[in-house]
Structure 1
Amino acid sequence: MKVYKLHIIKIKLFNLWLLLSFFGFGSIAAYSQTTPKVTSSIDSTTIKIGEQIQYKIQVETDTSALVMFPEGQTFAPLEVVETSPVDSVIIADKLNLVKKYALTKFDSGTYNIPIQTVLVNKKPYLLDSIKVNVASVVVDTTKQKMYDIKPLVEVDKNYSGWWKYIFYAFIGLAIIGGLLYWFVFREKPLTQEEKEALLPPYDRAMLELKKLDESKFLIQSEYKEYYTQLTNIVRSYLEEDVHITALESTTDELINKIELLKDAGSLDIDNETIIQFKKVLETADLVKFARSTPESSVIEGDRKVIENIVIKTKEALPEPTEEELLQNEEYLEELANKKRKRKIVITTITSLLIIGITISAFGWYYGFGYVKDTIIGHPTKELVEGDWINSEYGYPPISIETPKVLKRVNLELPAEANNMISTNQVFNYGSIIDNFYIMVSSTTYKKGVDFDIQKAIDATIKSMEKQGAKNIILKDEEITTPTNKKGLKVYGSMQVDNGNNEDTHNAKYILLNFSEGGGFQQVMMVYREGDNYANEIVERITNSIDFKTGS
């Protein structure tokens, strides 16, 4: 008995040892399966602005593990330029995973790559932060010249290729014109329904009865639909030709209206026809509302009665009077006028839309002011775009290009001026109250006269005041023309009297003064303030000025 108990104890101890061994080895195996190795590295810790560094994450784990790498902009403040696909290699039952990130930064300074998180079987593994130094690019100013920032330059719009826009506009107008013709002005062929609608009421009723005979209502035992159409045909005919409200009337009301017309002599129809018509209407009411099913012979008889009623009613109607025919013609003419007016309205609205869209498109591209001046017209715009003339004026001659030919003007000089001036020739176009005025003068002085350019300018200013200029503001500067001629430019603003003291406009003026070829030449231009076209004229005239040396 004791030996038996001892044997049982040994067996229990052995089982306990096996259980402990199983859990021990199991924990070791489990530990080996859940210990992945996660590391990170970069190829450089110092880069220049815009250069890239390679950030690499390496994971070593079991082949069955689920690994998730960082995604998105988790490397801020550095920017992710590119991410490579995961590279995987199996070595000795271990899975090695490698993922690379291309990082960069466009501002100099020291930055930290944030702590990155890698998930292995949903368990997070944190990677250390790495410091990166981004250096600025050093410029050697001894070898690379430094230049000042250039000022803003106003560039004129390029109007080349304008013909393309005209061509596109022409194509668009042609398409719109074709659509208008096709949908508005073209006489469209009538459809079968429209042709039938234009038939006289009697002919249309007979045609609809024929179509009813060809329908499948009776074959499909659709008696309600058959009688509904049958009675609607005769009711519609009575409304159009007899002019009574038949479609909305009950059977008794409709029969009463027909009998009243008969008694009044407006409808010459016999009593037997009215009685037959009433029976058909009553049969139709039973079929439509009481779901009655008539026999084939009754249906056939009712069909003949309806056709007979239409025929007899047509025969019973009196011939239309001349007044009624005239009213009908007037009605048709009124319809034609309405149709014509509708076409005119559609055409007008479409044309206005086309014009509006075209003006808006050109205004958006060229500017609304330019488009307005092109359509309505502008005096100085016409001068800019006209044919210019290059000519020589006076002695010593001054060569200049102008939008119009300058005409010689005879000026009376003061007595003191006659004692100093040998020759004085003046040419001009317009006057200072016009949109644009130009005056060219060439003067020579007598021997021994001490020429003072300032006195000459003052004399011109006094002449402007006599012509209606006031509140003149003076500015001056030395200039050199594109033809390398040096002179004195006097310019500014003023008010010009338009003819009475109460009506004035603001103007700009420019005096170009030169002393060339033994003489004094002066170019004066006056134009209204805010006129951009006049500015173009002034620039072109100024750039064209040249002189011929006098003998």
Structure 2
Amino acid sequence: MKKQLHLLLLLLSTAVFAQQKQVVTSIDTTKNKIGAEFKLSIKTTVDTSAKVIFPKLRNVGALEVIQSYPVDTVKMEGRYELIKKYGLTQFDSGRYVIPSIKIFINSKPFMTDSLLVEVANVQVDTLKQKMFDIKDIAPANNPIGGWWKYVLIVALILGIGAFIYWFVKKRQEKKLKEEIYKTPIEKATSLLDTLEKKELWQKGEVKAYYSELTDIARNYIEEAIEIPAMESTTSELIQGLRAASVKKKMTLSQEIIENLERVLKQADLVKFAKSKPLDFEITEDRNKIQKVILTLDNSIPVEIPVEEDMLLNEAQRQKQIQIQLRKQRNKRIVTAVVSVVFLLAATTTFFIVTKGFDYVKDNIIGHPTKELLEGEWVKSEYGNPGIVIETPKVLRRVDLTKTLPKNGMALIKEMQSFAYGSVLDRFYVLVSTLKFKAETQIDLSKSMDGALQSLEAQGAQNMIVKQEDFETKEGVKGMKAYGTFSQVDSDNKTTAKMYYEALLFSQEGGLQQILLFHEEGDKYGNEIAERVLNAVELKQASK
């Protein structure tokens, strides 16, 4: 009976344990080299209708997620076995705990097991590895050759835009001068002169010549005598002209009408029957058209216009000219702007293709931290105990007393803080010094924790902290903390991942602190941070 009872309890405990182990955690190796990948596997077996949610992770504890693999699904006896893998890595040696990860099965949370892994240094055998001398400093390869060349490129593009504007303006003014005439005879005479200057028939373009020649005559008849000459056939035009001459009491000879009809028919033969008149015939036809136009103009009865009508017509003409001028000016502006935009886009595309988008973004569009790095730096001493530091900009005095607890302020005799930017900017430098009222045993580790907690209180989230000893070039020892945090701007609803470095030094009766952070992955921010921290000099506290 006792054996049966023990067997029953064993089966029950096994069933309970199986229920608790619905999520199984494993890793391919517990020891790896710096930068190598750990593959963390999470496995669960569920019904086919179950909904399983694996989290999207950027970091797991102190390890960075470099790859989130797709979920493997295996069907087993009416159930699904789901396996989710994460690729993890770490670039600092040491032992790290992979904490529990929460997954949801049918909206119910389950926790994975925590694991301990070790990251080992890569051993370098200097006896077998060939060593090389340090190379000399090489000048930066700048194919553009300085900022003035960017200005030259922009000036050149703007100059091209201005030239296009001027060219279009001249063309429009010439066209406007050709188009605006006071009388139909003035227009016809000017167009005939222009036609002769083109020398179309001399170049073999007889069809184009006759087409323009007859269009000039037809257009004059339509405007001056007011009959639909442009849409009429040759016979319709001659018939309409005879009727108009009677109606308007025009004294036209039969010869003039016959000459006009002869030239129009000749033009029809050239245009539609591919006839090729001789050179002297072409000249005669041109002279006939000119004589017809002049005779028609002289035969039109002259009506003496009323002075008011003359003024009205002139006012309308001037108004029409102004409207055309405005349209042409707007067209010139649009043409010039489009040309400049096109050239800028073409230039930008060229640099993107040849140099890459990062080059264009940093050197043409502009990069805030790059401008800081390449600007004129300032070396100055701040606070007491003094900190001599070189920064891209002068640090401004700020008041941080409100961020400290009241019981802490009671111990402080003097506090001075100087900063560039704010904790919501993508680049921030802070120098702070403290003097205590009485001799105080300073624990750098606790002081560093307090400084980072103050940063968290100002909006830093998901902070990863690594600490190590730090020594200035003068041999002053202190503590360094570095890592990443999420910068959340609730006003603008933006989030950025920042990289920070903090230095802390203690003196008798004093504390010196330097904090610097920038956006993670910003190479210019990294160079600024390295230059700032390498130039730190510490002064003794004055009484």
Normalised to the residue count of structure 2, the TM-score between the two structures is 0.54
SS in structure 2 of the partner of residue 472 of structure 1? strand
Corresponding residue for residue 257 of structure 1: 240
CA distance in 2, matches of 1:439, 1:229: 81
Task: Report if aligned partners of 1:476, 1:491 keep a CA contact under 8 Å in 2.
Answer: yes
Larger relative contact order (Cα-Cα within 8 Å, sequence gap ≥ 6): 2
Q: Determine the structure 1 residue equivalent to 2:453.
A: 462
Q: Does structure 2 conserve the Cα–Cα contact (< 8 Å) formed by 1:246 and 1:254?
A: yes
User: In structure 2, how many angstroms separate the alpha carbons of the residues matched to 1:489 and 1:227?
Assistant: 92
Q: Which has the larger radius of gyration?
A: 1
Aligned residue for 2:221?
238
**CA distance, structure 1, for counterparts of residue 482 and residue 533 of structure 2:** 13
Classify 1:506/1:424 alpha carbon distance in 2 versus 1 (closer, same or farther; 3 Å): farther
Aligned residue among 389, 404, 414 for 2:394: 404
> Measured at CA, do residues 368 and 467 of structure 1 come closer, stay the same or move farther in structure 2, by a change above 3 Å?
same
- Residue of structure 1 aligned with 2:153, choices 169, 183, 197: 169
Residue of structure 2 equivalent to 1:510 = 501
- The aligned runs of 1:28-427 (5 Å cut-off) are 146-147=130-131, 158=142, 161-163=145-147, 165-166=149-150, 168-169=152-153, 172-173=156-157, 176=160, 179-180=163-164, 183-186=167-170, 200-203=183-186, 235=218, 237-246=220-229, 249-250=232-233, 252-262=235-245, 265=247, 267-270=248-251, 273=252, 275-280=254-259, 306=292, 309-315=295-301, 321-322=309-310, 325-360=314-349, 368=357, 380=369, 383-384=372-373, 387-402=376-391, 403-407=393-397, 409=399, 411=401, 417=408, 423=413, 425-427=415-417
**What stretches of structure 2 of length at least 5 have no aligned partner?**
1-126, 196-208, 270-274, 276-283
Q: In the alignment, is the contact (CA less than 8 A) between 1:268 and 1:316 conserved in 2?
A: no
Instruction: Give the equivalent residue in structure 2 for 1:52.
Output: none
- The alpha-carbon deviation at position 361 of structure 1 amounts to 5.8
CA separation of 1:399 and 1:190: change in aligned 2, threshold 3 A: closer
| Separation in 1, partners of 2:427, 2:265 | 95
CA distance in structure 1 between the aligned counterparts of 2:213 and 2:384, rounded to whole angstroms: 108
Shift of 1:318: 7.7
**Conserved in 1, the CA contact under 8 Å of 2:157 and 2:344?**
no
How much does 1:229 deviate? 11
Amino acid at match of 1:491: Y
Instruction: Go from structure 1 to structure 2 and tell me whether the alpha carbon gap of 1:261 and 1:389 turns closer, same or farther (over 3 Å shift).
Output: same
The verdict on how the C-alpha distance between 1:465 and 1:501 changes in structure 2, with shifts beyond 3 A counting, is: farther
Query: 1-side partners of 2:304 and 2:193: how far apart?
Result: 26
- CA distance in structure 2 between the partners assigned to 1:227 and 1:468 by the alignment: 83
Q: CA deviation at 1:309?
A: 3.8
Q: Which of 531, 538, 547 is the aligned partner of 2:538?
A: 547
Note closer, same or farther for the CA distance 1:202–1:372 as it changes in structure 2 (3 Å cut): same
User: SS of the residue aligned with 2:384?
Assistant: coil
The CA distance in 1 between the partners of 2:249 and 2:229, in whole Å, is: 18
Distance in 1, matches of 2:163 and 2:347, equals 17
The 1:229/1:310 distance shift into structure 2, 3 A limit, reads farther
SS at 1:338 equivalent: helix
Are 1:435 and 2:416 matched, yes or no? no
> What amino acid does structure 2 have at the position aligned with 1:411?
T
2:442 equivalent among 441, 446, 451: 451
- One-letter code of the match for 1:184? V
TM-score, normalised to structure 1, is 0.53
- The 2-side partners of 1:544 and 1:330 are apart by 73
Residue number in structure 1 paired with 2:69:
none
The count of residues paired between Structure 1 and Structure 2 equals: 388
The SS at the match of 1:425 is strand
Q: Note the residue ranges of structure 1 that are not aligned, 5 or more in a row.
A: 1-142, 213-225, 292-298
What is the RMSD of the two structures over their aligned residues, measured on CA atoms?
A: 5.6
